[in-house]
Structure 1
Amino acid sequence: MLPLDAAAYTNRWRPRHPGEKAFLSLGLLACAVALPPWPGALIVGVVAGALLLGPAGVRPRQAWRVLSVPLGFVAVGSLPLLVAVGGRPWIRFEPSGLPMALGLAARATAALLSLLLFAATTPLADTLPRLTRLGVPAAVTEVAALMYRMLFLLLDSVHAVREAQASRLGFRTWATSYRSLAGQGGAIFVRAFDRARRLEAGLALRGYTGSLRIEVEQRPVSRPFVAGSAVLLGTVVAATLALRGVVA
Structure 2
Amino acid sequence: MHLPGTSPVHRTPAEVKIVCAVVAVFAVVATPREMLWPFACYAAGLLALWRFAAIPPRWIAPRLLIEAPFVVLAVLLPFSAGAPRTTLLGISLSTAGLWAAWGIIVKGTLGLGVSLTVAATTDVRELPAALGRLRVPGLIVTIVVLMLRYLDVIADEAARMRIARLSRGDDPRTIRRIAATARGIGSLFLRSYERGERVHLAMLSRGYTGAFTDATATPATRRQWASGLTVATVAVAICFTARVLP
The 1-side partners of 2:184 and 2:65 are apart by: 27
- Determine the structure 2 residue equivalent to 1:49: 47
Amino acid at match of 1:73: P
> Is residue 48–residue 113 contact of structure 1 (8 Å, CA) maintained in 2?
yes
> 1:39 aligned to 2:59?
no
Aligned to 2:140: 140
**CA shift for structure 1 position 126:** 1.2
- Per-residue CA deviations over 1:196-221 (Å, capped at 9, x if unaligned) read 22123323433444334433433754
State the one-letter code of the partner of 1:82: P
Q: Is the 8 A contact 1:45 1:110 kept in 2?
A: yes
2:174 is aligned to: 174
Distance 1:11 1:101 in 2: 38
For 1:56, the aligned partner's letter is: A
Unaligned runs of 5+ in 2: 84-90
8 Å CA contact retained: 1:78, 1:105: yes
In 1, are the aligned partners of 2:2 and 2:119 still within 8 Å (CA)?
no
**162-171 or 220-229, which deviates more:** 220-229
State the shift of 1:104 in Å.
Answer: 3.5
* Cα pair 1:82 1:94 within 8 Å, conserved: yes
Question: TM-score, structure 2 length as denominator?
Answer: 0.76
Seen in structure 2, the aligned counterparts of structure 1 residues 187 and 49 have a Cα distance that, compared at 3 Å, is: same
Query: Whole-Å Cα distance in 2 between the matches of residues 225 and 210 of structure 1?
Result: 28
Contact 1:79 1:101 in 2 (8 A): yes
- 1:59 pairs with 2:52: no
Q: Is 2:128–2:212's contact at 8 Å kept on the other side of the alignment?
A: no
- SS of the residue corresponding to residue 94 of structure 1 reads strand
Amino acid at match of 1:187: S
Residue 151 of structure 1 is matched in structure 2 by 151
Q: Matched residues in 2 for 1:220 and 1:86: separation?
A: 51
1:101: which partner in 2? 101
1:169-222 deviation line (CA, Å, top 9, x unaligned) = 211772664354234213312321321221233234334443344334337548
User: Equivalent residues in 2 for 1:7-26 (5 A)?
Assistant: 7=3, 9-10=4-5, 12=7, 13-26=9-22
From the superposition, tell whether residues 152 and 50 of structure 1 become closer, same or farther in structure 2 (CA, over 3 Å): same
Contact 1:132 1:138 in 2 (8 A): yes
| Aligned-pair CA distance for 1:132 | 1.8
Matched, 1:79 2:75: yes
In structure 1, what is the Cα distance between the partners aligned to 2:114 and 2:11?
19
Question: Which residue does 2:198 correspond to in 1?
Answer: 198
Q: Which residue of 2 aligns with 1:165?
A: 165
2:121 alignment partner, SS class = coil
Separation in 2 of the partners of 1:224 and 1:202?
Answer: 37
Deviation, structure 1 residue 138:
1.9
C-alpha distance 240-73 of structure 1, shift in aligned 2 (>3 A): farther
Q: 1:95 to 1:118 in 2, by over 3 A?
A: same
Give TM-score scaled by structure 1 length: 0.75
CA deviations on 1:214-236 (whole Å, 9 max, x unpaired) are 33433754837834853884488
Give the C-alpha shift of residue 78 in structure 1.
1.8
Sequence identity (%): 23
Worse overlay, 212-221 or 229-238: 229-238
- In structure 2, C-alpha distance between the alignment counterparts of 1:197 and 1:205, rounded to whole Å: 12
AA paired with 1:19?
E
Residue 51 (structure 1) shift: 1.0
1:111 equivalent in structure 2: 111
Structure 1: segments with no counterpart, 5+ residues? none
Partner of 2:188: 188
Moved more, 95-104 or 133-142: 95-104
Alignment-mate amino acid for residue 28 of structure 1: A
- Could you tell me how far 1:118 is from its partner in structure 2? 1.9
